[in-house]
Amino acid sequence: MTTVLKEASAKKKKLREAPHPFVILFTVVIIMAVLTYIIPAGQYDRIENEDGRTIVVDGSYQTIDSSPAGFLDIFNAIHKGMVEAAPIIFFIFMVAGSFNLFRESKAIEGAFGSLSTKMKGKEMLIIPVVMMFFGVAGAAVGMFEEALPFIMILVPIAIVMGFDSIVGAAMVIVGVSAGFTAAFMNPFTIGVAQGIAEVPIFSGMGPRIGFWIAFMAISIAYVMIYANKIRKDPTKSIMYEEDKNRNIDIEAMKQDTITKTQGVIIGILVVTMVGMAFGVLKFGWFITEISALFLIMAIVIGLVNRLKFNEITKSFVRGCEEIVVGALVVGFAYGALVILNDSNTIDTILYGITNLVEQFPSSLTAIGMYVMQTLLNLIVTSGSGQAALTMPIMAPLSDLLGVSRQTAVLAYQMGDGITNIIAPTSGLILAALAMAKISYGKWVRWLWPLILIQFIMGAVFVTIAHLFFWPA
């Protein structure tokens, strides 16, 4: 009887097994290929502005000869996507390999062990503190990609503190995304969009700070409510089985004091993070420079831990091996975009949505622009890229429709940010989930209520801005 029940349970579990990320994304690629036969090809003229940025010329859209994706193009898109996503893919490998040396040093376990008694009963406080840090970074300096390495630190900490990997990842991803979405001084979204819309850079900061506070409060509350539930009953975690099998040295975390070597390694990590922040702010570092910084960190940690160069290399490779699937998923995601770019259908999609917005009643025009930007972000996930693509059109369109350009910027900003952490075409969110070892399906399952809440909040903010703060 017991055997029968076990077999039935195993069969049921197999039936419920989620599709592999490659299967999901290849399906998306096929769907995009089919759409190239339905959506006409077209393009806007583009010019280079004074800042050297390529922008779309409003009113220049024209249809061109259709070039739908062929059978071989579907498979070519995967390779092309891998090539285009190479900077992000290798960034993932570099960070994962480097952090494996840090992880295998047991420094984080030792640090946590020495602090656990002091934090006993106050574990929940780490969530708002960490999320506010990333929220400010996302809002003020446009941090997003730079936050990813922190996931590999906070996931094991969250698990040992009685939470789960979702909470560890959410402290970083949801925190930085909420700040990025409701930003008040983000140079990559607000700065670029306001520059194109020809409104004073970083103007309208007062209302935006209010929107940011509300956005952060809701996001932090959502994570804390879930975290509290998991602390009371760990079996309610959607990552319960996966987290049980994670390679986290619980015994090491029970040590009373941190060793001298572990202390030095923690110091190396802190110096690395400070150096990264300084480089990003002062010199405009991006993933190439950050990757190099983490490689240096890995070598130094290995030497401090008295490892031979062969041992350092093997540890680095082990870290890369664990992240292979997650890294390659990014290339698959880019493959879907390759299909649309090569078939010249992205501009047609933009043109169609723009015409749709024009049909909205004047009172709902701002909301229509917001919805358009939200949908478009599922295709163009780059904040500055979407600004360059849409604002040259949305800015003059807002003048015609009785919407202030400031409100148009807010509609773009909110629409661009909310779906960043759920879009299947976003290489960055797939990379983040790979680092956290969380499946995309389980992430969406946990996150979709918050996304819905944030979407409604964004609509409310845009409406308030349109009616009270920045009327046309």
**Helix runs in 323-465, H state only:** 324-342, 346-358, 365-376, 383-401, 405-418, 427-436, 440-464
DSSP track, 330-358: HHHHHHHHHHHHHTT-HHHHHHHHHHHHH
**pLDDT at residue 321 above 50?**
yes
pLDDT for residue 326 is more than 80: no
Q: pTM (2 decimals)? A: 0.71
Which has the minimum average pLDDT: 193-207, 291-305, 409-423?
A: 193-207
* Per-chain mean pLDDT for the chain: 82
Give 323's pLDDT tier (boundaries 50, 70, 90).
confident
What proportion of the chain, given as a percentage, has pLDDT over 90? 25
Closest CA to 373 of 388, 360, 390: 390
CB 78 within 8 A of CB 335: yes
pLDDT digits 0-9 by tens, 101-111: 887 887 766 66
Q: What is the pLDDT of residues 431-454, one digit of tens each?
A: 888 888 898 889 999 999 999 999
pLDDT at 214 > cutoff 90 = yes
Position 449 scores a pLDDT of: 96
What average pLDDT score do residues 156-162 get? 85
| pLDDT number for residue 32 | 85
| Cβ atoms of residues 139 and 212 within 8 Å | yes
Buried b (16+ CB within 10 A) or exposed e, 171-197: bbbbbbbbbbbbbbbbebbbbbbbbbb
Q: Which residues are within 8 A (CB) of 387 and not within 5 positions of it... i.e. 6 or more apart?
A: 189, 192, 193, 196, 412, 416
Q: Which of 70, 78, 60, 7 is nearest to 37 (CA)?
A: 70
Phi, psi values for residue 324, rounded to 5°: -55, -50
Domain positions in the chain are: 72-469
Residue 300 zone, left/alpha/beta (φ > 0; ψ -120 to 50; rest): alpha
CB atoms within 10 A of CB 90: 15
d(CA 326, CA 104) in angstroms, rounded, equals 20
Give the model's pLDDT for residue 118: 63
Token couple for 167: 């909470």
- What does each C-alpha distance from 77 to 145, 331, 336, 379 come to in angstroms? 24, 9, 7, 15
User: Is residue 160 over pLDDT 50?
Assistant: yes
Distances (CA, A) of 372 to 115, 360, 431, 459: 48, 12, 26, 12
Predicted confidence at residue 254, as pLDDT, reads: 55
pLDDT tens, residue by residue, 356-391: 877 777 668 889 889 888 887 777 776 666 776 677
Q: For residue 72, what pLDDT is reported? A: 92
- 397 against 463, higher pLDDT: 463
